[in-house]
Structure 1
Amino acid sequence: MQTAAAERYLDLYSRFADGMAVQTPVEVSLEELAQTLFCTTRNVKLVLRKMEEEGWVRWQPGRGRGNRSQLVFQLERDTMLLELAQRMAQRGEYKPAFELIHTHGKGSPVKDRFSEWLELHFGYRTELLDGKRHVDTLRLPVQTPITTLDPADVYYAFDAHMVRQLFDSLVQYDTSAGRMIPGLAHAWECNKEATVWQFHLRKGVYFHHGHEMTADDVIFSLERLRTGKAHSWLLRNVVAIETVGTRTIRIELAKTNRIFHRFMSSSMASVLPRELVEHDEEAYWKSPSGTGPFMAGEWNEDRFVLSVNKNYYNGRAHLDGVVIAFMPPELGASSRKCWEKLILDHDLLDANPDEELCTFEMLCKGCTLLTWNMSKQGPQQSALFRKAIDLLIDRHSMIRELGGDRMYAARSFRPDDNTPLRNIRHDPAMAKALLREAGYDGTPITLYTGSFNLRDAQWIADRCGEYGIPILVEQIDNYKKRDLIDKADTILYGIVFAQDEVCEIESYEQHGSFLKEHLHPDFRAWARDRIDLAVASKTSEERRLILGEIEERLREEAHVVFLLHKKTNASYHPGIKGITMSPLGWIDFKDVWVQSHTG
């Protein structure tokens, strides 16, 4: 089927045969057809001839003055539409496929039929490539676009997850074991004061474009990170970065930091190839080269393709490739991570159609929250007003009414063992008293949020509206625009901790972080001093206590409103192995494999 010709057929069908049965003659002129197809009458005749050859239409030209021509559509619209959308999806043209259905399939079941077909299209497949070798590919639909792959400027959890597929950092943090493990550095140490750290680089680690990683690449990447990047905070106390010999990196700090190696395990401190970035950075980010388990391939508005790094120093991935398909939420996708229940192997399903799927479920290490803009005049400047909003939000009702992945009420960043049992205070009477004491005069509040949290924001706006607090909800999908942060009275968003302590510190120090940007400068300065004290502590218990002081002050002074803890999950065939969730809440690709069906 020729895509252009098929789309022209659908255009003609919509214009002249909508609501009619196929095989019904329609009187039409060449001029009307030309207007519909935006072409000349001569070209219309060529188009009709091709459609007749395909068996899609019958065309009977009118003979004599005043006799109109007749056009007979022989193929039902939905059949043509579904087949064309499927062909587009098979080529990776997901957005045009949804747009086509949105344009021509209104009021028909074709959208649902296409969604059902997509569930079979996505998942794990073993395919024959060029008739020579089998390749294992995982195709996953997501609503979350990739904003950037530059580790130094990553804001979103999905971006950070994709960075982990392409790049590596000096060391890694094993969250399950709670310990540091080697990365690009095979060993490391610090002096007694933890002000001088040394990282010893592996030999034989190559970037995807074939060049061996050197100490020069590491120093370049860290120096690049130090200045003007969102995550420059990772290195704010660094005095000097230098090489010792040919394969050792020495980093000197102005202050003690006993978890600096944890800082260096952040994917935001990934190592880039100096040669390519310096040569043409704009071109580099269109197809970045790293040292990670997968290599970047085609990247457009429809999909992002990863291919396996066969020479990965830490062991080749079992998959040969991953295709991330970007599903437009406004045109048919319904969940944030559409790959839930789609981690399937279709050969295994065919062999064992009745076999029960396994489910992997994880409570995310983080929460949704509201931050109040203390740099803007408005009711939020009053702690009494902020506390009143906290008391008006009945989180347990919110969970019951909105459902989905919303699990527990939050009173802090992280869930703990008591989270399922904890009852967060909801007290409208006290809230009203606080509003009166604050002298609140009904001034509207502007709440900004992204599409994924829009229902939560509207729910809060509706409840506050019942108590005379008008909240104007504004949807934004590019949080990097600084003016949006400045304009908002409050922002509703979700935070995920890939590493507890490091990510918590990131929230207070990352340039562009909503929490940091909305806090008063005096609070930020105080928090920075507490952070310096925490990272100098000798025990995790002492660090937790000091960082807990910052969180406690946020809660007591209502600088933030902690809302909900959410879950993430995936269902998959038991024959698919190695399914694990990263701390960021996304499926790790490297260790996914299939146990072959043996009969």
Structure 2
Amino acid sequence: MDNGTMQYLRIYDQLRYEHSKGKEVTVTVAKLAEMLYCTPRNVKFVLRKLEMLGWIEWKPGRGRGNGSKLRFLRPPEEVLELRMQNLLEKGRMSEALDLIAETGMDDLVKTRLWSQFNVYLGLHSEPEDNQDCDVLRMIRYRKMERLDTSSVYTAFEVYILGQIFDTLVTYESSSGKFLPKLAHRWESNTEQDRWTFYLRKGVRFHNGRLLTSSDIRDTLLRLRRKNSPALRLLTDIEEVETPGDYTVVFRLSQPNPFFLHLAGSLYMAVVPPESDGQDIPIGSGPFQISELSEHKLSLRAFEGYYGYRPLLDRVDVWFMPNMETGERTYHLSEADQVEGSREVDTDALCCRYLIINFRKEGPHTHPDFRKALRLVYDRKLLVEELGGDRLAPAASFLPQFSAKSAIESGTLAEAATFLRSSGYGGQAIRLVFTDKKEEWIEANWLRRRAEKIGMDLELCPQKPSEGYIQAEEGELAISSEVLEDDWELDLLNFFLNDANCLNRMLGDEQRERIQELFEGFMMKEEQERLKTFGLAQRLLDKENWLLFGAHTSHRAYFNRSLYGLRIGSFGFPNLSRLWVKGEDCGCSTDGKH
């Protein structure tokens, strides 16, 4: 926030009790100096500046005992809006974002400021080097987590890293097959404990260096050096050989028919050694980072990309962690949502659930308490009564599995009986969840039902700006799991990754029982692997360690001038395929962008 705006707001705030609309306030220069933490001489400069802006009227007092008179000509919210408009007209969007974040005004004022900011987002065509530059501007309502393939956890960061980095192969969900990526061909021996990949020639990193087989080996060494949580999935790899610049051989300790899933995972995305320690990651993907700060991420199409160059020239992502909404926004204004955009609901592989924290002692871990909670958290009623983004009751992380399951409901009277037999004494049970609309709705619904049987749930929302949810801070937590296109790999990672919500909440005994199910998992063929997933999910469901809630959808708004719209993993669009229909674009900010 600039000094003039900040000084005006500070004076207004200090004198607001003495000021009423249109009336003068008696105040001395010395008093103003105290408010502004400056000298009386500097106060006079400030007053002159504010007068020139037309924000105040100042009448200096004449003689001893005659105080000076100050009249405020603009309400503070109007000053903020004028400043916002000025910043946006000059293209100083980062400062405009800071203005919204730093203002001490109420949420209504912040929303009005945000509406102004929103008009300057969306899809634009900008002149650049005598050519039109197509720019998509997106909004995120939480802070950016660290962009590191070795430890990435949250969905949006996985999505962005997938634009920056490439893997040896890629999984195509529609066919269930693996397709070439950095490797144009691969093969394994009969035992499937030796996998050979043949790399494309001429692939360059964003810094211009050619990719070779040594970069594949160095990527695995990097994961080991950083003690990545992915190492649990990669324990079969004994050695990586590089017999030539464009050939890489993985020697495994045992047969592994699942190995292509690992080769296509983001953890194994190729990271050049020179990228380590850099603020901006370097990859070989279709987009490269041109700007990265607390409030903004800019991706620019990589002109040296070995595949098809993205049709968009730039993607700007702005982070607004204090302006939460349940929708992803790819548009300019509210009017544009109706007139110039289309609403897209995607049935991503997403499941919201309630999980028990076995790391904390208390009645919530008792089997009968968990049975009572299962009846209170009735997944059928959850969908019927709340609707919203809830598509269907869940008995699994995957809709196709849930559809085959017999989901039964009980009564609150039965829940009350279980609660009494659990030894529950009426103490507060903390329920942690993300401070978002749909989770608030669900938490309040659950609290009201719990009250009917004498269970006291204390709601503990966590701001999205705090990063991913710290579920272990409560006895219970509402959380979600969104699976990528290669859901087998993602679900395996969910069960085995020590850093995720499940393993942070389960006790040692529960974790051991789950890990026993997955022994030798990668040696199994597909049908046997599916059985293992079924056993693991039924164990969670039967023991009420994790209470499945509902499969959910993602909603986003896309401008009608965006073509090539294909929704990929996590319900996000495939940026490489998006393009802009020229006649629908312009440099104006009239909401048709």
Same fold (TM over 0.5): yes
Q: Is 1:291 the counterpart of 2:284 in the alignment?
A: yes
Structure-1 residue corresponding to 2:259: 260
1 CA distance for matches of 2:487 and 2:101?
Answer: 41
Structure-1 residue corresponding to 2:450: 464
CA separation of 1:473 and 1:78: change in aligned 2, threshold 3 A:
closer
Q: CA deviation at 1:261?
A: 0.7
Q: Is 1:579 the counterpart of 2:581 in the alignment?
A: no
Aligned partner of residue 200 in structure 1, secondary structure: strand
Aligned partner of residue 49 in structure 2, secondary structure: helix
Q: CA deviation at 1:591?
A: 1.7
Structure-2 residue corresponding to 1:93: 95
Q: CA deviation at 1:124?
A: 0.6
Structure-1 residue corresponding to 2:173: 175
Deviations, residues 458-483 of structure 1 (Å, cap 9, x unaligned)? 43234223322233343456999999
Paired residues of 1:364 and 1:585 also in contact (CA < 8 A) = yes
Paired residues of 1:373 and 1:489 also in contact (CA < 8 A) = yes
2 CA distance for matches of 1:555 and 1:509?
Answer: 17
Q: CA deviation at 1:157?
A: 0.9
Structure-2 residue corresponding to 1:313: 306
CA separation of 1:424 and 1:325: change in aligned 2, threshold 3 A:
farther
Aligned-partner residue type, residue 508 of structure 1: F
Aligned partner of residue 261 in structure 1, secondary structure: helix
Aligned-partner residue type, residue 116 of structure 1: S
Paired residues of 1:85 and 1:100 also in contact (CA < 8 A) = no
Paired residues of 1:173 and 1:181 also in contact (CA < 8 A) = yes
Structure-2 residue corresponding to 1:519: 506
Aligned partner of residue 124 in structure 2, secondary structure: strand
User: Which has the higher mean CA deviation after the structures are superposed, 440-449 or 61-70?
Assistant: 440-449
Structure-2 residue corresponding to 1:70: 69
Aligned-partner residue type, residue 197 of structure 1: W
Paired residues of 2:321 and 2:464 also in contact (CA < 8 A) = no
Paired residues of 1:366 and 1:497 also in contact (CA < 8 A) = yes
Q: CA deviation at 1:253?
A: 1.9
Structure-1 residue corresponding to 2:297: 304
Q: CA deviation at 1:568?
A: 0.6
Paired residues of 2:287 and 2:301 also in contact (CA < 8 A) = yes
Structure-2 residue corresponding to 1:449: 433
2 CA distance for matches of 1:521 and 1:598?
Answer: 58
User: Which has the higher mean CA deviation after the structures are superposed, 132-141 or 317-326?
Assistant: 132-141
CA separation of 1:220 and 1:43: change in aligned 2, threshold 3 A:
same
Aligned partner of residue 468 in structure 1, secondary structure: coil
1 CA distance for matches of 2:196 and 2:138?
Answer: 40
Map 1:470-509 onto structure 2 (within 5 A): 470-476=456-462, 488-498=474-484, 499-509=486-496
Aligned partner of residue 352 in structure 2, secondary structure: strand
Structure-2 residue corresponding to 1:9: 8
Map 1:325-474 onto structure 2 (within 5 A): 325-329=318-322, 333-339=323-329, 342-343=330-331, 357-399=341-383, 402-416=386-400, 419=403, 424-452=408-436, 453-474=439-460
2 CA distance for matches of 1:207 and 1:77?
Answer: 50
Paired residues of 2:212 and 2:246 also in contact (CA < 8 A) = yes
Structure 1: where are the runs of 5+ without partners? none
Map 1:246-285 onto structure 2 (within 5 A): 246-277=245-276, 281=277, 284=278
1 CA distance for matches of 2:181 and 2:541?
Answer: 37
2 CA distance for matches of 1:402 and 1:483?
Answer: 23
Structure-1 residue corresponding to 2:216: 218
Aligned partner of residue 255 in structure 1, secondary structure: coil
Deviations, residues 235-276 of structure 1 (Å, cap 9, x unaligned)? 022222221222222112223221211122111221111134
Q: TM-score, normalised by structure 2?
A: 0.88
Figure out how many residues of one structure are paired with residues of the other and give that number. Answer: 577
Q: CA deviation at 1:344?
A: 5.8
CA separation of 1:244 and 1:387: change in aligned 2, threshold 3 A:
farther
RMSD: 3.3
CA separation of 1:334 and 1:522: change in aligned 2, threshold 3 A:
closer
CA separation of 1:378 and 1:26: change in aligned 2, threshold 3 A:
closer
Aligned partner of residue 412 in structure 1, secondary structure: coil
Of 190, 193, 196, the match for 2:194:
196
Q: TM-score, normalised by structure 1?
A: 0.87
Deviations, residues 414-458 of structure 1 (Å, cap 9, x unaligned)? 113975997652432332333344444445433333334354334
Deviations, residues 158-193 of structure 1 (Å, cap 9, x unaligned)? 111121122111111122332211122111111222
Q: CA deviation at 1:519?
A: 3.5
Of 570, 583, 587, the match for 1:597:
583
Aligned-partner residue type, residue 27 of structure 2: V
CA separation of 1:87 and 1:242: change in aligned 2, threshold 3 A:
farther
Aligned partner of residue 354 in structure 2, secondary structure: strand
Q: CA deviation at 1:367?
A: 0.6
Aligned partner of residue 518 in structure 2, secondary structure: helix
CA separation of 1:110 and 1:214: change in aligned 2, threshold 3 A:
same
Q: CA deviation at 1:397?
A: 4.0
CA separation of 1:445 and 1:60: change in aligned 2, threshold 3 A:
closer
Deviations, residues 267-298 of structure 1 (Å, cap 9, x unaligned)? 12211111342xxx2xx1x2111112222233
Aligned-partner residue type, residue 236 of structure 2: N
User: Which has the higher mean CA deviation after the structures are superposed, 395-404 or 82-91?
Assistant: 395-404
CA separation of 1:446 and 1:68: change in aligned 2, threshold 3 A:
closer
Structure-1 residue corresponding to 2:146: 148
Q: CA deviation at 1:212?
A: 1.7
Paired residues of 2:232 and 2:497 also in contact (CA < 8 A) = yes
Aligned partner of residue 430 in structure 1, secondary structure: helix
**% identity of equivalent residues:** 29
2 CA distance for matches of 1:414 and 1:400?
Answer: 20
Q: CA deviation at 1:356?
A: 6.2
Q: CA deviation at 1:401?
A: 5.4
